[in-house]
């Protein structure tokens, strides 16, 4: 086989963890581990939700050979030069897994490579791109017939979690509740104190319950703990949380903890991916985002929380709304207006609900209070048939696994045609 370069373009933490990971694994399974024959590179573009750790996460994948961070992207896009002056083989494929679909058009042209795009909701530049792997047939419905041959339905990459792990709730004797407050400051500021307050409320009435936070790979423990500190986060008092401090044991056998002032220990798990842990949870309390897709893929019951105690605290929007909401000085005003409009016109927020076009899992939006949500959770825990019904519905809408393998097939076909 002629030596080939596979260049993956991606951007944010969600794309790197839920799209790039399964695709590079599928590529290695299909094309082999001989790096002299197949080399996989990842180049990141800027993302408003980025934590700065995306490059390190991508480089931690054993299937990946080299990674360039987002801070050097524009230089590469404009001049075709990486910061480390990478060499490029004559044969290659650019694979788009996040960012702007215009990027593979430019980069594929500069390198003389075939181009493959994973299109989740819409497909663009189809006259210049060689192949599209789309999430659903609807993505290709508006495409002119003469380009239809470029489109293949591969499914949802976010569902890849289920291909290697199935929900094990019924076999777990310990009652575990997962808390997923987010990974960015805009969500953590309200998400951490709210979920901690809910956990304290439940624990007071159901002390046998264990609580765990699967810490996002882009988030360090000290930053997470700062949002549980009443001296640093005013929302601790807003949600009636007692606050919590980080406890890290010198014994590597013990997980770090958030210990609340009321004595509740919440385990912090840094295992990545967290699928095994999540599958053991009886129910999860989560913010909106990729978390809901992963939980849906694992058929783990959840309640989705979007507190709005302070409208200008919600600034993690994409595109122009995100830029306006984060402007110095005027950003707070823009954020309030944008979020007010969003709350008036919002549709379904959780991915399983979007897939089903109905509310399979509860979405709670507004001035949320811990006792009310705690009672909802207690009701579900004491009526397991409700959780089982939610679990069954999640299994029915999560679709078939195999999107990563199908996308790898498109990359292989592109190599053969190059």
pLDDT digits (tens, 9 = 90+) for 178-221: 999 988 887 899 999 999 999 999 999 999 999 999 998 888 99
Q: How many residues does the chain have?
A: 418
Cα separation, 335 vs 318, whole angstroms: 12
Mean pLDDT of 75-91: 95
Mean pLDDT of 215-231: 92
SS3 call for 93: strand
Within 13 A of 368's CA, how many CA atoms are on the CB side? Answer: 28
Model pLDDT, residue 413:
95
Model pLDDT, residue 345:
54
Could you tell me what percent of the chain has a pLDDT over 70? Answer: 87
- Beta partners for residue 305, in sequence order: 364
Distances 130 to 73, 93, 114, 221, 410 between C-alpha atoms, Å: 23, 10, 6, 43, 10
Q: Both tokens of residue 254? A: 């013990």
> What radius of gyration, in Å, describes the C-alpha atoms of the chain?
22
Cα separation, 288 vs 399, whole angstroms: 20
Model pLDDT, residue 336:
55
Residue 339: pLDDT above 80? no
Within 13 A of 73's CA, how many CA atoms are on the CB side? Answer: 19
Residue 286: pLDDT above 60? yes
Mean pLDDT of 144-169: 75
CATH superfamily of 164-397: Glycogen Phosphorylase B; (3.40.50.2000)
Residue 329: pLDDT above 60? no
- The structure tokens 């901690």 sit at 196
Question: Strands 114-119 and 91-96, how do they pair?
Answer: parallel
Cα separation, 285 vs 304, whole angstroms: 6
> What is the per-residue DSSP string for 167-179?
--GGG--S-EEEE
Residue 318: pLDDT above 70? no
Model pLDDT, residue 417:
86
Q: In the chain, list all ranges with CATH 3.40.50.2000.
A: 4-160+401-417, 164-397
Q: Categorize the per-residue pLDDT at 163 as very low, low, confident or very high, splitting at 50, 70 and 90.
A: low
Q: Are 377 and 283 in contact (CB under 8 A)?
A: yes
Model pLDDT, residue 411:
96
Per-residue pLDDT reduced to its tens digit, 351-408: 889 888 899 999 998 889 999 999 999 999 999 999 999 999 998 887 667 899 999 9
Residue 305: pLDDT above 70? yes
Q: What is the pTM of this model?
A: 0.71
Model pLDDT, residue 325:
46
As separate numbers, helices (DSSP H) first and strands (DSSP E) second, the chain gives: 17, 15
Residue 121: pLDDT above 90? no
Q: Is residue 11 packed enough to be buried (19+ CB in 10 Å), middle (13-18) or exposed (0-12)?
A: buried
- The structure tokens 């990971």 sit at 21
Model pLDDT, residue 216:
87
Residue ranges in 151-234 assigned as alpha helix (H):
161-164, 185-205, 221-226
Residue 46: pLDDT above 60? yes
Q: Both tokens of residue 416? A: 């053969």
Q: Which residue has the higher pLDDT, 173 or 54?
A: 54
Cα separation, 315 vs 185, whole angstroms: 9
| Whole-number average pLDDT of the chain | 87
Mean pLDDT of 340-354: 71
Model pLDDT, residue 184:
82
Mean pLDDT of 86-100: 96
Mean pLDDT of 332-353: 64
Cα separation, 116 vs 151, whole angstroms: 10
Cα separation, 337 vs 300, whole angstroms: 34
Per-residue pLDDT reduced to its tens digit, 237-263: 999 999 999 999 877 667 899 999 999
Model pLDDT, residue 162:
55
Residue 158: pLDDT above 50? yes
Contacts of 257 (CB under 8 A, 6+ apart): 246, 247, 248, 265, 266, 267, 268
Model pLDDT, residue 26:
96
Cα separation, 158 vs 297, whole angstroms: 7
User: Which CATH architecture is the domain 4-160+401-417 placed in?
Assistant: 3-Layer(aba) Sandwich (3.40)
Model pLDDT, residue 70:
94
């Amino acid at each position: 086989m002629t030596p080939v370069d596979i260049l993956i373009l991606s951007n944010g933490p969600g794309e790197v963890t839920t799209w790039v990971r399964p695709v590079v694994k599928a590529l290695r399974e299909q094309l082999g581990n001989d790096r002299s024959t197949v080399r996989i590179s990842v180049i990141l573009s800027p993302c408003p939700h980025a934590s700065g750790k995306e490059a390190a996460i991508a480089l931690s994948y054993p299937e990946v050979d080299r990674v360039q961070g987002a801070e050097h992207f524009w230089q590469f896009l404009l001049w075709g030069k990486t910061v480390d002056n990478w060499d490029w083989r004559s044969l290659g494929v650019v694979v788009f897994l996040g960012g702007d679909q215009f990027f593979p058009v430019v980069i594929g042209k500069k390198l003389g490579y075939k181009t493959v795009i994973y299109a989740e909701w819409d497909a663009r530049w189809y006259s210049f791109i060689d192949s599209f792997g789309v999430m659903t047939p609807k993505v290709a419905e508006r495409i002119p017939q003469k380009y239809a041959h470029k489109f293949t339905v591969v499914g949802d990459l976010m569902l890849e979690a289920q291909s290697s792990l199935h929900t094990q709730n019924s076999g777990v004797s310990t009652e575990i509740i997962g808390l997923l407050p987010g990974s960015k400051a805009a969500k953590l500021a309200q998400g951490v104190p709210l979920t901690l307050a809910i956990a304290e409320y439940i624990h007071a009435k159901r002390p046998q319950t264990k609580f765990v936070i699967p810490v996002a790979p882009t988030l360090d423990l000290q930053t997470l703990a700062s949002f549980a500190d009443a001296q640093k986060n005013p929302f601790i008092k807003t949600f009636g949380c007692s606050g919590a401090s980080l406890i890290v044991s010198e014994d590597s056998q013990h997980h770090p903890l958030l210990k609340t002032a009321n004595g509740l220990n919440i385990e912090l798990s840094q295992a990545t991916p967290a699928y095994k842990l999540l599958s053991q949870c009886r129910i999860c309390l989560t913010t909106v985002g990729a978390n809901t897709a992963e939980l849906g893929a694992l058929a783990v019951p959840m309640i989705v929380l979007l507190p709005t105690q302070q409208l200008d605290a919600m600034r993690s929007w994409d595109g122009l709304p995100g830029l306006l909401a984060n402007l110095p000085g005027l950003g707070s005003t823009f954020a309030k207006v944008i979020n007010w409009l969003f709350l008036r016109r919002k549709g379904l927020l959780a991915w399983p609900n979007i897939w089903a076009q109905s509310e399979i899992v509860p979405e709670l939006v507004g001035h949320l209070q811990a006792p009310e949500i705690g009672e909802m959770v207690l009701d579900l825990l004491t009526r397991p048939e409700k959780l089982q019904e939610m679990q069954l519905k999640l299994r029915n809408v999560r679709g078939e696994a195999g999107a990563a393998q199908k996308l790898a097939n498109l990359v292989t076909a592109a190599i053969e045609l190059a």
